[in-house]
Amino acid sequence: MTGFALGAEQEEWCGQLRALAADRLRPLADKGEPGRVNRPLLAALGELGLLERVFTSGALELCLLRESLAYGCTEAETALALQGLGAHPVLASGTPEQRERWLPEVRAGRAVAAFALSEPGAGSDAAALALEAVRDGGGEPGGGGWRLSGEKCWISNAPEADFYTVFARTGEGPAAKGVTAFLVPADRPGLSGEPLDMLSPHPIGRLSFDGVPVGPQDLLGEPGRGFRVAMDTLNRFRPSVGAFAVGMARAALDATLAHTAARRAFGGVLGDLQAVGHRVAEMATRTEAARLLVYAAAGAYDSGSPDVPRRSAMAKLLATETAQYVVDHAVQLHGAVALQRGHLLEHLYREVRAPRIYEGASEVQRTIIAKELYR
């Protein structure tokens, strides 16, 4: 990549991904049940080698992958991203046994992963989580394991995931210093869940932990270092959340260009009206600015830049807010047709809202940016 212009091979690959999403993945997504894991779609992502790319790609390539899939099939993009989010801690911090057991299954689309951080009282303030991990054997540090008790909420892929990356309070220190990450298989005794009826095409649920046993073999990283596992994962995926948003914005923009160039009104086409042309120009400019910031953040991650937290937060903030703006105005310029169930923009309008909340709401991103600027 030269500056922020993609090379010919990258452009060709993105075009292939967009076509693949529309022709191969979109039909599988349409057959899925909203709010349920679409296992045939996951299997196709594995068969096509796209899940493998989540774990072997740099941050920029991951952004291009997510943006291109989002353009043609948001369900496929989300299924792919959730596999990465739930399993990346295993790749980065897991034991050889954990990696050997789970990662081949995740890459093949046979095992469903989930990232279980949020709680009813700890959403944006992740360091305030309360899920408790109490040592077996009277709570002595030398005990063989822990018992997890509490609740997780708003967990993507719950309660249908095959394993969860779970963050619990082990008490080595206050706030973030006392959090530990565990890999918890879904069949572990005492673990149960229920789906939540959400504005989301993929499953989101609540998990209940009733003395769920975990041992040293279930640790992801060291005790008391779980918050770092969580933040390292989020820093990797935040720019690509922005890429997901850019993909939706570009799809909405292209649909708007086609519609306003063809729809006749007031003696001409809509695009001839200055008010319409100016609005489309604003949509295109904001989308391009978001795309460039996402690519810059991904490049910073790939180069090991120390300002990744700030750049990642900026990319997610601008891209998700921009996508909301672009999709909303696309609906307005299309008129009533865009509100019909099954229309591309009706679908995008529902999809575009959640990314401004998950993996750190826009307000959290602004807080991160400010802290990094004043550091």
* Residues classed as catalytic: 359
Q: Which helix (H) or strand (E) holds 108?
A: helix 96-108
d(Cα 308, Cα 298) in Å, to the nearest integer?
A: 8
What kind and span of H or E run contains 220?
none
In our burial notation (b when 16+ CB lie closer than 10 A, e otherwise), range 95-108 reads: beebeebbbebbbe
Phi, psi of 62 (to 5 degrees): -60, -40
Q: Specify which residues 335 forms β-bridges with.
A: none
Q: Which structure tokens are listed for 336?
A: 């009533």
Q: Please state at what angle helix 274-302 crosses helix 226-262, rounded to 10 degrees.
A: 150
Residue type for 371, please?
A: K
d(CA 31, CA 208) in angstroms, rounded, equals: 30
**Residue the block writes with tokens 């918050």:** 227
